[in-house]
A and B are shown apart, each in its own frame.
Chain A
Amino acid sequence: MTRMEKSAAFSRRALLESGGALVVSIGMPISLDTLLAVRQAHAQGAKPPLTPDQLSSYIAVNADGTVAAFFGKMDMGHGLTVAIGQMVAEELDVPFKAVKVYMGDTANSVHQGGASGSTGIQLGGKQMRMAAAEARRVLVEMAAQKLALPATQLTVVDGVVQDKSDPAKKASYAELIGGRYFNVQLDWNKQYGNTLYAPGKALPKKPSEYKIVGKPIKREDIAPKVFAQEDFVTDVKVPGMVHARMIRPPVAGSVPVKVDESSIKDIPTAQVVWKNGFLGVVADKEWDAIQAMGNLKVEWSQTKPPFPPQASLYDVIRKSPVRKRVVEKDVGNVDDAFKTAARVIEAEYEWPYQSHASMGPACAFVEIKDGFVTCYSGTQKSHFVQAGLAATLDVPLEKVHVKWMAGPGSYGRNDADDCAMDAAVIAKAVGRPVRLQYMREQGTAWDPKGPASIHRARLGFDADGKIIAYEYTSKGFSRVDVDTNGGKPKDTLAGQTLGVALASGDGFGVPAESYEFPNKRLAWETIAPLLDRASPLRSSHLRDPVGPQIHFASESFIDEVAADLKQDPIVFRLQHIKEPRDAAVIKAAAEKFGWETRTSPRRDQTGVKVNGRGIAYSQRNGTRVAAIAEVDIDRSTGKIWVKRFVVAHDCGQIINPDGLAKAIEGNVIQGISRTLWEEVKFNDKTVTTVDWISYPILDITESPEKIESVLIDHPEIAPSGAGEPSIRPLAAAIANAIFDATGVRMRRVPFSPDRVKQAMS
């Protein structure tokens, strides 16, 4: 038996049968606050229900005094596990090492929305902090009763409640509640997902009291990965399992009309799973499943190729009827102001479809046994996948268990949720446990895409040269043709291929900044998807959904205005920015970079290789980021090297500076990649970017010499997110640096060498 078989078997049994392997309930703790609850219906000795209003849904103390924290989000690689552990340990006054965080398992955590919108700390951590604070309060009350001392007389040191004046009078958490569950009601706001909030009566600590939060504690999941001891979702194996592969249509929108099963009859155990547009194969051995996928003869319906020529994509966006228009900010009277303008500057920018292109294509395991569904998934959102599986398989929610395991990358709504649903359909059809992994071209060509868009900005001056009006409008495919999760069949390929219509939602966004102009309007417009059913160009959330494209345009345009006015790009920004924290990140980045105040472009370079610097800034849900790029450009080849990035980052209170710095580095590399290289290509039939050659990403030979971050800590301000904000302004910073170096304005991403060379000629 391999290590994984053991661990898979263990986790299934342990979690399903006991609802949490480490905590054994042997009777209710009695405290002043829980006395009433004890008399209520929850059976003596049982765990209270796994509902958001129960403290036991978040925190448990084991018999040995260690703490289990049950988290309804998960760590997609930024070290969130550590940060949550720090927040819980801090509030409980236990050593960091005493806390173990369990993540993304529907059997032991409540629906906190999964990994979503960089809210792991901002919202998820906020809840865990309040739960831990309440647990400490309850434990101190219990100790007060036991020691016959007023609670105000007590303090907690490393999980031991003791008399402030006589530490010999003490009671440990283990003695007070170890091995039993809290039965404490929280004040739940009746929301599920990101906005779930259920504080108790306790107030969290003051930042001045912190001992653990703010420290650069290291991740403990690195060593198991580096020594090949940790299993990914791809590694799940159970006895009797079959391997599955999916087959996608050659023309998007077409469906199989004839499947020749005899074409795979020589492949041992190979079997076809076909219903409507859903087509997959299984075999006992993975290699045989892959062979079956390749050899199966399929006749597809004659469907008109659905996509326009790639070259006309932005024209299609321009000309398509607006499905929804939303003005998110409207100050003064923009239309009237433009009528009086003596001079107007305007520009338009374009951003392509982009793919998550996760490191490996998605993988999922599903077993249906005795009416109970077990799923291991690399999803960002287990609780949504639980709902999606219940709907897809038509079983009650409580009969579905989804356990998140580390997958091959993430970055938003990638192919993981689709894979879980496909695996479930196959598992139901073949009656055996199924491991489904997509192939590379399915991961790159068929994941939900970041939407393509165009962005128009214009700015008007009066006769005295004063700025009187600013208007910014994005127009593009919605950010949610399919929702941000696989919670409903309409949002998954399985649902759509089985016959549930795609119901594209509307969503986009506007620049998040604090430029103050007398008349200002920020708006977005969405258009219908190119194909109204299972489509390789269906859009959904890709890391910082629509943020990079919106701010590429808005921050490039601000730079264009500064250049037009012959002002230094930072001086110009600081003149118009209203919020002090925004100005602070810009100043911090400028100082670290060694910014020299001057106008762009430089005019002192004549050689083939030229160099430039560019700044951009943005906000994101409370976080502020300013980024300065230094680029080298080879004018003979058009190749750009982003040599250096300085990122100043203010996300309020910093929980773990080491994790934050590394999250920023990853954002910068991925952001450069998306700016310089990434573009989903398609022909009239389907997507043609299918691998790392056709969908290139930044290579290590192209990575910067230096990425420096300035972490601005505001312990007094509640933490906001850091998983995505720093990718947001990068494209504009690079574009602005190219302009500084060459005087050429890049208004279409990606800045591939051929495009840069063309722009410079």
Chain B
Amino acid sequence: MTLRCRPRRWRAQDFAPYSRSNPAPPGLVFAPDTQGSRIGAGLATKRAVQRHPQEDTALMAQKFTLNVNGSDHTVEVDPDMPLLYALRNDIGLNNPHFGCGLAQCGACTVHLDGQAIRSCVTPVSAVGTGKVVTLAGLGTPEKPHPLQTAYVEEQVPQCGYCINGWIMTAAAFLRDKKKPTDAEIKTALEGLKCRCGTHMGIMRAVKRASEMMG
């Protein structure tokens, strides 16, 4: 088998989250077929790894230098591997979580050059020299981001597995939008999932943070 590396052709919308008002395009809504759950890999990677049938399935690992939370990390991985796995397994940052691998829930959200992106569908090769910030890099107990302070004050999470999505998305939103209305906050956070149902607490915390940010 010949191993070769394909040219990258990623666009920002490839990593855009899906939501009820921005549904996945037809063909990307998955249902088990005769492949059954073997499409699991496809489910996880279909958008990130748009491999064509004629292309080889195994790709050569490449070296990438990723700037994460202010430090450079060199990883040697499949260029198509989603950033999430590089962050969690190669760089050892546990905070972005695997929730769906489909950009449908937000548990994996990080900032790439200040924009909230879903790291579960963003190939490592698409990161380039962009600066990645995870929840751990957003703030610390000593120097918290207002959203982190507000989250603690409002006692928002239940299981807490979803918080990367809400905090990182809200942080990018509040940076650009001062004193948003409730409706604007909800629209900005549309599509993120919290299965425990902490939505009311999330709204309180985002509003509190927005006030703190002036």
Q: Which residues of A contact B (CB under 8 A)?
A: 2-4, 76-79, 218-219, 221-223, 225-232, 234-235, 237, 245, 247-251, 266-267, 285-287, 290-291, 293-296, 298, 300, 357-361, 406-411, 437, 439-442, 445-446, 658, 662, 665-670, 673, 683, 685-688, 690-694, 696-701, 703-705, 707
Contacts and interface: CB of A to CB of B under 8 A. Distances in A.
Contacts of A666: 158, 196-198
Contact of A440 (B89, B99, B155): B99
Interface string B178-191: 00001000110111
B192 A700 contact: yes
B196 A77 contact: yes
A285 B42 CA distance: 18
A222 B31 contact: no
Interface of B: 1, 18-21, 23-24, 29-45, 57-58, 77-78, 81-82, 85, 88-89, 92-95, 97-102, 104-105, 107, 134-136, 139-141, 144, 148, 151-152, 155-163, 167, 182, 186-187, 189-203
A230 B157 CA distance: 13
A231 B45 CA distance: 25
B32 A692 contact: no
Contacts of A298: 38
A439 B40 contact: yes
A227 B200 contact: no
Contact of A662 (B43, B92, B201): B201
A232 B32 contact: no
Contacts of B92: 2-4, 237
A409 B88 CA distance: 20
B29 A685 contact: no
A407 B186 contact: no
A249 B163 CA distance: 33
A534 to B, nearest CB: 12
A287 B203 contact: no
Contact of A228 (B42, B77, B95, B198): B95
Contacts of A446: 37
A670 B187 CA distance: 20
B39 to A, nearest CB: 7
Contacts of B139: 227
B197 A250 contact: no
A670 B198 CA distance: 9
A694 B29 contact: yes
A294 B197 contact: no
Nearest to A438: B40
Contacts of A669: 194, 197-200
Nearest to B94: A235
B160 A266 contact: no
A231 B19 contact: no
14 contacts: A3-B94, A227-B135, A230-B160, A234-B94, A248-B36, A287-B85, A290-B40, A291-B41, A408-B99, A667-B197, A673-B197, A691-B102, A692-B18, A700-B186
A77 B201 CA distance: 13
Given A226-B167, A234-B98, A408-B97, A294 B41 contact: yes
A251 B105 CA distance: 27
A700 B197 CA distance: 9
A357 B37 contact: no
A668 B158 CA distance: 14
Contacts of B89: 237, 285-287
Given A295-B57, A300-B36, A673-B197, A290 B45 contact: yes
A498 B99 CA distance: 28
Contacts of A293: 38, 40-41
B31 A694 contact: yes
B141 A227 contact: yes
Contacts of A223: 141, 152
B37 A701 contact: no
A691 B47 CA distance: 14
Contacts of B152: 222-223, 226
A691 B32 contact: no
Contacts of B160: 77, 221-222, 225, 230, 232, 406
B53 to A, nearest CB: 13
B197 A266 contact: no
Contacts of B104: 440, 691-693
Q: Which of A226, A249, A296, A408 has the most CB of B within 10 A?
A: A226
A441 B43 contact: yes
A79 B152 CA distance: 13
Contacts of A687: 32
Contacts of B201: 662, 665
Contacts of A696: 20
Given A78-B158, A359-B105, A670-B197, A228 B134 contact: yes
B30 A690 contact: yes
A690 B107 contact: no
Contacts of A231: 94
Contact of A250 (B37, B100, B148, B162): B37
Contacts of A699: 19-20, 190-191
A476 B30 CA distance: 29
